[in-house]
């Protein structure tokens, strides 16, 4: 079983993808995406990946589990502007201690516009958990592995 986990973790996972369009509410007066909008998109990408893996964030919180952000870094490489269609590619990595790292790239027409790293911790009852509860372990493994690619999804 340990060998299986090491093999799974050593393979680069397929990123979770979310497509967004820069809307007027995301921009400043010059039509450039406001820096705070990036943070909201990063959260949406993580929450949608969780849903795709099999659990909504509402369901997770009803189990008494939260995953607050404890660290966030964004590298702004090129400005996103009103009307841009952006693909967020997110990868959840193996936990480092109690921290769950995520990486996200924001691409517009294939060009890297921004990349981010986010670290979360799993909390229950106000206490940081050293590892996920057993009933969430398989879900967290699915998040790290990324979405399942099928022949149907490759043709779209």
Domain of 97, in residue numbers: 8-145
Mean of per-residue pLDDT scores for the chain: 90
100 or 154: whose pLDDT is higher?
100
95 occurs within a structural domain: yes
pTM: 0.86
| Pairing label, strands 99-108, 85-92 | antiparallel
CATH number of the domain residue 89 falls in: 3.10.129.10
Q: How many domains does the chain have?
A: 1
Q: How confident is the model at residue 148 (pLDDT cuts 50, 70, 90)?
A: confident
Residue given tokens 């705070």 in the structure block: 36
118 occurs within a structural domain: yes
Nearest by Cα to 144 from 70, 94, 108, 109: 94
Q: Is 117 helix (H, G, I), strand (E, B) or coil?
A: strand
pLDDT at 4: 44
Sheet of 111-121: strand order equals 16-21, 85-92, 99-108, 111-121, 69-76
Span 83-118, pLDDT tens digits: 999 999 999 999 999 999 999 999 999 999 999 999
């Amino acid at each position: 079983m340990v060998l299986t986990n090491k093999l799974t973790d050593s393979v680069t996972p397929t990123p979770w993808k979310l497509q967004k369009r820069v809307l007027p509410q995301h921009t400043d007066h010059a039509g450039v995406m406001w820096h705070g909008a990036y943070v909201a998109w990063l959260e949406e990408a993580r929450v949608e990946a969780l849903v795709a893996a099999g659990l909504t964030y509402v369901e997770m919180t009803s189990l008494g589990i939260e995953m607050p952000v404890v660290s966030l870094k964004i590298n702004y490489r090129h400005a996103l502007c009103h009307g841009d269609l952006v693909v967020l590619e997110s990868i959840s990595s193996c936990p480092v201690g109690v921290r769950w790292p995520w990486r996200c790239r924001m691409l517009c027409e294939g060009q890297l516009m921004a990349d981010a790293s986010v670290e979360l911790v799993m909390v229950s009852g106000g206490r940081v958990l050293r590892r996920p509860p057993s009933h969430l372990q398989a879900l967290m493994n699915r998040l790290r592995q990324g979405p399942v690619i099928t022949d149907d999804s490759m043709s779209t």
